[in-house]
Structure 1
Amino acid sequence: MAKKRRSCEGIRASGVVLLALVIIQSFSLLGACSPETSSFRNGPRSFNNKGELKISPRVKLYMNRYRPEVVMSNGLVQVTVSRPGGGVTGIKYKGIDNLLDYKNKEERRGYWDVIWNEPRDPTGSYDVLKATKFRVVKLDEDQVELSFTRKWNFSHRGSLVPLNVDMRYIMRRGVSGFYFYAIMEREEGWPDVYMDQIRAVFKLREDKFRYMALSDHKQKLMALNEDRVRGQTLDYREAVLLTNPTDQRLKGEVDDKYQYSSENKDNRVHGWISHNPRVGFWMITPSDEFRTCGPIKQELTSHAGPTVLSMFSSTHYAGREIDTFYAKGQPWKKVLGPAFVYLNSVSSRENPRALWEDAKQQMLREVQSWPYDFPRSKDFPKSYQRGRVSGQLQVHDRYVNEKPMSAKSAYVGLAAPGDAGSWQAETRGYQFWTKTDEEGHFTIENVREGDYNLYAWVPGFVGDYKYGFNITVRAGSKINLGTVVFEPPRNGPTLWEIGVPDRSAAEFFVPDPYTKYKNPVFTGPSDKFRQYGLWERYADFYPKDDLLYTIGVSNYTRDWFFAHVNRKVGNNTFQPTTRQIIFQLEDVSNKGNYTLQLALSAATFSNLRVRLNFNSRRRNMRPLFSTGTIGRDNAIARHGIHGLYRFYSINVPRYLLNRGNNTIYLTQSRNNGPFQGVMYDYIRFEGPPNSNEGS
């Protein structure tokens, strides 16, 4: 075997590691160097059950003259990557020759892909990124880092996304898994392009991985691909009713990948468990800085396949209202990642849930280690090359309190310069977010060098905050902004309100799902909105007449249906619906106009029209306000309780109001399908400025 196999440790040339070409006929590396330490130990030093110090095996790298691949091993894990393509074709761990789906083509096991198109060709193209060059960036006994690159030129136009790509893989000594990241770059003068999705994908073995875990409460046995094929496709192709699954316990459930979406801020670890042997495969994302559109952007996580995703950018729950357009005059470079594929195991006598609990602990260690100090790319700055921004946020709403109040639990972030709220549509740069403490203090650590605006929003108040000046962060910066004050939109005292201003429709009435579509994972009040088919339930509660909401009598938690949808009245025929808000005014002030503050948490090809005191004799009355056609977030169909946030401050002339009974009519006028509609975040009716009405 010594003649057939030779490691390339320690070989260096011109200051760079030179990889020795080695003839290998088989890669049974782990059998020769598997440690006795538990998979839960992580680091070059580990301890056995007796507390004795053990040193982890060295990192090794192998190449096969007869196969276009390269293999990394550290005695815990063995990873095979295609050469020079850069796709992960095999992961060997705990006696399983390959955790990935070996039935798939090698380029479709572990890979990066991009959905893109040029403006001249609106048809979307799909590019599974394949490199053309390979090099070893670092190799010693503690770490290997590999680089797989592809350069773009105009001869590739129309066939490949116009990007230079550098895909990196890192294996470290004593670490049960591997890290991956990519550096993507566009040069000035390249064709205009839309890049609607950038992600990394790992396809696992169906015969091993059947149990998915996304959080403490979102864990379940999952369907097979063949179960979906035999099932009944529902109102859109991603949703399938399992009519004859391999495991009959799943019969009658809906399988839909969008049910398992998560907000960026909550998407730190997710993965799958194999019960024989008991092995976990986990995607850990320690930072959101390279993700797009801020902390509450929703993204896919895992789904039947079994498929594990690391989403870096997409139009999910937003559509192209987010900025996925990259102009030819604008060079661009971004580091996506690193993220961490973590592997763990327990014995057959132990509860497999221990794998999830360990993965959560490993995630916390990765978060505490951010930014990593081991990636070798000069484009990934270390901690000392970054800066810090701190301050205190207060909120001043004079109709709530004469003095500014501490903005506790507010979201504060740095993103590319733009208008207030522009961060939720921003995709090209880096974003850094935190939450304030009880006194409104915030510290944003480890900020990359660059020019930013400071943005914020405060739960309990409408609108978006933007600091008045650009902030330039340099290496070692420690910028203290002192006290900054957010004055949320407000014209007069509150006369009445519906909902809670938190950019979500979660507080409103979410009905129980149809029994035939029930997913047992989403039965709690916090995530019941993830159930399939809830939009159809509006017609059950309001078969003929639409929703009436009476201020002072109705309760939004039970009387305000969470989504303003169309009513189905026939086969593929839908009817617009109108909500009425009925309220009383003891008197109509002559001191000024009133204001309707309207915040939407989602919209899909909708036109929301607002009328006041409308009746049959005034049928041709123009709306007081109309949004025009808005929204592409598809949050109703894809079980999201919000998409993009929209806020409207609507002037209400006092002459339109009555002393006594008044009614506001909200009509969603577009009715081409079941998923056109809006979700409300919050509605507030204000009296005239400086009046004594309201609270």
Structure 2
Amino acid sequence: MACTQKNSDKKKTKEPTSTLIEPMAATGVQLHIEADHVVIDNGIVQVTLSNPGGILKAIQYGGIDNLLELHNQDLNGGFWDLNWSVKGSLGTRGKFDTIEGTTLKVIVQTEDQVELSFTRVWSPSVQGEQAPLSIDRRFVVLRGFPGLYSYAIFEHLKDLPGFNLNTTRIAFMLRKDKFHYIAVADNRQRFMPLPDDRLPPRGQELAYPEAVLLVDPIEPEFKGEVDDKYQYSLENKDNRVHGWICFDPPVGFWQITPSNEFRTGGPPKQDLASHVNPTTLAIFVTSHYAGEDLLVKFEDGEVWKKVFGPVCIYLNSAPEGATAQDLWDNAKEQMNKEVQSWPYTFPASVDFPKNDQRGIVRGKLLVQDRYVSKESLPAADAYVGLAPPGNAGSWQRENKGYQFWTKADKNGSFVMSHIRPGEYNLYAWVPGFLGDYKYDSAINITPGSNSDVGELVFEPPRDGPTVWEIGIPDRSAAEFYVPDPNPKYINPLYVNHPDRFRQYGLWERYAELYPNEDLVYTVNVSDYKKDWFFAQVTRKIGENTYKGTTWQIKFKIDNVDQTKIYKLRIALASAHNSDLQVRLNDGTANPPLFSSGVIGSDNAIARHGIHGLYWLFSIDIPGSEILEEENTIFLTQSQSSSPFQGIMYDYIRLESLP
């Protein structure tokens, strides 16, 4: 998309050009150490960090003396931080801990590279104030490169107390007067409101603090919009490059993540990216869109070590009058270069294995579902990965190790490369089929190993032919009916957009569309694209009172065999503090035919995600309980203390036995 500058940038607009400014001739990397700060300068970018804290105080580039904001009330500059809580704590929130080093060490100092280490070692004297970890944060500047890299080694030693690691990340607070344009994907870019627009009286907080209605923004064109950082979330598989653009002068600030190996939750895990303030994040651990399952919980004395990163901060610039598209396209080109360079050769830590210390796994995955095809089918576009040993599907809740994922080709063939040494299980799931695959044998990766697991066959859950089905088994509710937002709560970016589910307040539309009775879906008559609301949410019945909802599926079966057991498969794309109860032909039967119990805490409904964690339930229905006439399955979500309690269905199928 070409971008037209506006407001303070309009007067500077010229004929756009796609030519970016080439970095000036590279000089050797210089390091200057002062009593309270250090400066790394390669002639293109100059990076200033506190000494020995390792907090980024300035990034000078492209004619701008400092790209970082230093005048916020709370968070300034660039920093690593974490959120933690004591062992046994409930919930996903604890204390924020901005990680400041106590020791600076120069690891590499040559004309080609400077690598600095800022370490912090835990001691009982800081108990209750700092997370019990030994943390070594590294910052690297290379000759000729317009940017910097950062990574960290977190270690929990045998003499340290247990605790919960809730979040860890790198955050960059950018200049509020400079960076006004955000880009997180090809079709998710726009000029953004200002941070002050979110503060009262200019902004009105909505159902939670992150969502704000702009009632009197500084720039009137944003009036009536909703700003919410969760509207700019990305899935791990798509979270490669995002950032902000300044047009005075044209400069881009980009966060590039070349590998997902150190992230938790696998390819579909979602998290924050860039958002208003303006903020750019590289997140490694959070509970967002997953809940407490993704917290890293340590026992007393549990030994653990993990390398997070390196991630790349890439800076680019262009002649005055350049478009946002010019800077974005160049950032994507650089992202591809970073991905192709993984694993990097420059990190000096022995805890980051180089390419010759890693391994490869290849193979081919087929799907055998005799009710779809007599022959095994290639698992086209399957997600195949290595993760620490566990049960099938455990990778989405795994949070301490490394994961390596790829996408199979149309023939089901796959190659996973650059795998760190260790023991793994091979996992997979295939769009269009229910369930999770796990290879029976553990896979041991050693330096230089090249393993071929051959032809693998996934038999998805299936007991008999399909009687009827609703939706597509793709771990998402995106194919269902996503309503237009309330006109009072609009983000114009998502009007007529494939990600229309990212609009604020869609949960409130359910009661407007179904004011008196809940959803009723009739098999072979209704259309799930139009008649199945994307989320089964609670219904507001008072000022702060909510009621659970019961949806109905009506169906007929000719020639019911009352001696058979029919199988109802229900796959959920999300659950948040919900209890799904299933009944047949009696909506008040007690006990129900099935109850999930209270499950899930991914909060995907509030955070504009079309999925959270995946759940699959298989429910036996005796043929003796199925009527020859019309039958009704009642789906009740019984929990009702919040507007955000609810579930998103992925796919529902009724099978008969052969």
Q: Is it true that 1:110 corresponds to 2:78 in the alignment?
A: yes
> Could you say which residue in structure 1 is the equivalent of 2:431?
459
Is 1:217 matched with 2:211? no
For the pair 1:275 / 2:243, whether they are aligned, the reply is no
Q: Distance in 2 between matches of 1:569 and 1:76?
A: 60
Contact 2:87/2:299, CA 8 A, preserved across alignment: no
Cα separation, partners in 2 of 1:661 and 1:620, compared to 1, 3 Å? closer
CA distance in 1: counterparts of 2:533 and 2:403, whole angstroms: 34
1:323–1:425 Cα contact (<8 Å) kept: no
Query: Any conservation in 1 of the 2:264–2:294 contact (CA below 8 Å)?
Result: no
Find 1:82's aligned residue among 43, 46, 50: 50
Separation in 2, partners of 1:73, 1:64:
14
Residues in 2 aligned to 1:301 and 1:350: alpha-carbon distance in whole angstroms: 24
Alignment of 1:668 with 2:637, yes or no, is yes
Distance 2:466 2:322 in 1: 57
CA apart distance, 1:591: 4.5
Counterpart AA for 1:194? N
Residue 449 in structure 1 maps to residue 428 in structure 2: no
Query: Which residue, 605, 615, 620 being the options, matches 1:651?
Result: 620
| 1:639 corresponds to which of 589, 592, 608 | 608
- SS of match in other structure, 1:585: coil
- Are 2:27 and 1:57 aligned? yes
Q: Distance in 1 between matches of 2:169 and 2:424?
A: 25
Matches within 5 A, 1:6-85: 41=22, 56-65=26-35, 68-85=36-53
- Whether the 8 Å CA contact 1:593–1:653 is kept in 2: the answer is yes
What is aligned with 1:564? 536
Match of residue 569 from structure 2: 597
Amino acid at match of 2:642: G
Shift of 1:400: 1.1
Partner AA of 1:415 in structure 2 = A
Q: 1:119 is matched by which residue type in structure 2?
A: K
CA contact (8 A) 2:204 2:213 kept: yes
Count of paired positions: 636
Aligned partners of 1:89 and 1:106 also within 8 Å: no
Rate the CA distance shift 1:243–1:541 in 2: closer, same or farther, 3 A.
Answer: same
The answer to whether structure 1 residue 492 and structure 2 residue 461 are counterparts is no
Question: Which protein has the larger Cα radius of gyration, Structure 1 or Structure 2?
Answer: 1
Supply the AA of the counterpart residue of 1:593.
I
How much does 1:273 deviate?
0.5
In the alignment, structure 1 segments of 5+ residues that lack a partner are: 1-37, 47-54, 691-695
Match of 1:686 in 2: 655
Alignment of 1:504-653 (within 5 A): 504-614=476-586, 619-653=588-622
Please tell me the residue identity of whatever aligns with 1:280: G
* Distance in 2 (alpha carbons) for counterparts of 1:139 and 1:63: 12
**Structure 1 Cα separation of the partners of residues 616 and 475 of structure 2:** 10
What do residues 221-252 of structure 1 show as CA deviations (whole Å, max 9, x unaligned)?
Answer: 11222110121110111100000111111111
Q: Which runs of no fewer than 5 residues in structure 2 stay unpaired?
A: 1-18
Change in Cα spacing, 1:105 to 1:669, as seen in structure 2 (3 Å) is closer
Alpha-carbon distance in structure 2 between the residues aligned to 1:224 and 1:108:
16
Q: 1:176 corresponds to which residue?
A: 146
Paired residues for 1:253-292 under 5 Å: 253-292=225-264
Give 3-state SS (helix, strand or coil) of 1:353's partner.
helix
Letter matched to residue 595 of structure 2 = S
Q: Is the 8 A contact 1:40 1:358 kept in 2?
A: no
Deviations 1:305-334 (A, max 9, x none): 101100001000111023521222421111
Q: Is the contact made by 2:562 and 2:622 (CA closer than 8 Å) also made in structure 1?
A: no
| Matched-pair contact (CA < 8 Å) for 2:20–2:319 | no
* Contact in 2 for aligned 1:602/1:644 (Cα 8 Å): yes
What residue identity is the alignment partner of 2:63?
G
1:186 partnered with 2:156: yes
Give distance in 2, aligned partners of 1:382 and 1:275.
38
Secondary structure of the residue aligned to 2:330 is: helix
Q: Which residue number in structure 2 is paired with residue 130 of structure 1?
A: 100
1:166 corresponds to which of 136, 143, 162: 136
State the alpha-carbon separation in 2 of the partners of residues 71 and 370 from structure 1.
27
Structure 2 SS opposite 1:628? strand
Q: Which moved more, 1:350-359 or 1:499-508?
A: 350-359
Judge conservation of contact 1:614–1:621 (CA < 8 Å) in 2: no
After superposition, the Cα gap between the structure-2 partners of 1:414 and 1:121, relative to the gap in structure 1 and judged at 3 Å, is: closer
Aligned to 2:176: 206
Alignment-derived partner of residue 433 in structure 1: 405
State whether residues 576 and 671 of structure 1, in contact with CA within 8 Å, keep that contact through their aligned partners in structure 2. yes
Secondary structure of 1:558's partner?
A: helix
- Aligned residue in 1 for 2:114: 144
Q: CA deviation at 1:607?
A: 0.6
- Using a 3 Å threshold, how does the CA distance of structure 1 residues 258 and 656 change in structure 2: closer, same or farther? same
CA drift at 1:58: 1.1
Secondary structure at the aligned position of 1:335 is classed as strand
Give the whole-Å Cα distance in 2 for the aligned partners of 1:196 and 1:335. 16
AA paired with 1:632? S
Offset of 1:655 from its aligned partner?
Answer: 1.1
Q: Report SS of the residue matched to 1:227.
A: helix
Report the TM-score, using the length of structure 2 for normalisation: 0.95
The Cα of 1:570 is off from its aligned counterpart by 1.9
Q: Deviations over 1:359-381 (max 9, x none)?
A: 01110111111111011111111
1:587–1:660 contact (8 Å) kept in structure 2? no
2:7 counterpart residue number: none
Q: Give 2:375's match in structure 1, choosing from 374, 399, 403.
A: 403
Indicate if the aligned counterparts of 2:75 and 2:173 stay in contact, CA closer than 8 A. no
Q: Secondary structure at the match of 1:214?
A: strand
Paired with 1:403 and 1:328, the residues of 2 have a C-alpha distance of 52
Distance 2:443 2:618 in 1: 29
Percentage of identical aligned residues: 53
Amino acid at match of 1:560: W
* Separation in 2, partners of 1:344, 1:479: 40
Q: Distance in 2 between matches of 1:349 and 1:666?
A: 56
- Do 1:462 and 1:488's aligned partners in 2 also have CA atoms closer than 8 Å? yes
Contact 1:201–1:308 at 8 Å: present in 2 too? yes
Residue matched to 2:338: 366
Query: Match of 1:34?
Result: none
Give the Å deviation of 1:349.
2.9
Matching residue's letter, 1:683: I
Counterpart CA distance in 1 for 2:638 and 2:451 is 49
**Alignment RMSD (CA, Å):** 1.4
SS at match of 1:572: coil
Render the CA deviation track for 1:113-163: whole Å, top value 9, x for unaligned: 111011266571111000000011111111111110011122222111011
CA gap 1:231/1:535 in 2 versus in 1, 3 angstroms: same
Query: What is the match of residue 17 of structure 1?
Result: none
Q: What amino acid sits opposite 1:653 in the alignment? A: P
Q: Which moved more, 1:225-234 or 1:468-477?
A: 225-234
* Residue identity opposite 1:343 in structure 2: L
Query: Aligned-pair distance for 1:397?
Result: 0.8
